[in-house]
């Protein structure tokens, strides 16, 4: 039997998953997986507005999923926890495998119908 999990830990876990449940935040994390980026670089790479990206960067930083560094007038962000990258890669890999399985099944169905006499 698994040990009981205190509510405070469950709430922290839920908050982390909420941070990962937004497409804009996932796009930001994806951009940061390539390394540290300025806000402008994240805006350009995610193709989202400056205000929107800044809001989500602040949320991710407040939740400690990313870290920020100020250099002069620019602010740079990076993923602060390697587990974030691993989790994103696991989920992405799972989605790719599921899509490949669906394509394989659809191809098999198409082949079976076009090969009939």
What confidence tier does 1 reach under pLDDT thresholds 50, 70, 90? low
> Is the pLDDT higher at 22 or at 112?
22
- Over its C-alpha atoms, the chain yields an Rg (Å, rounded) of 20
- Count CA atoms closer than 13 A to 50's CA, side-chain side: 4
For residue 103, what are its two tokens? 């394509």
pLDDT attached to residue 87? 83
Does residue 108 register a pLDDT over 80? yes
What confidence tier does 117 reach under pLDDT thresholds 50, 70, 90? low
Give bridge partners of residue 76 from the DSSP assignment: 38, 69
What pTM value is reported for the model? 0.78
25-72 pLDDT, tens digit per residue, is 999 999 999 999 999 999 999 999 999 999 999 999 999 999 999 999
For residue 88, what are its two tokens? 């994103």
Q: How far apart are alpha carbons 104 and 61 in whole angstroms?
A: 40
pLDDT attached to residue 93? 81
3-state secondary structure of 25: helix
């Amino acid at each position: 039997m698994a040990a009981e999990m205190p509510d405070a830990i469950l709430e922290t876990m839920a908050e982390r998953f909420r941070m990962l449940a937004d497409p804009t935040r996932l796009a930001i994390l994806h951009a940061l997986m390539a390394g540290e980026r300025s806000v402008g670089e994240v805006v350009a790479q995610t193709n989202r507005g400056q205000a929107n990206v800044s809001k989500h960067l602040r949320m991710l930083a407040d939740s400690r999923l990313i870290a920020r560094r100020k250099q002069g007038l620019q602010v740079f962000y990076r993923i602060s926890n390697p587990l974030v990258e691993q989790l994103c890669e696991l989920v992405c890999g799972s989605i790719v495998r599921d899509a490949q399985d669906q394509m394989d099944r659809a191809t098999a169905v198409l082949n079976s119908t076009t090969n009939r006499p």
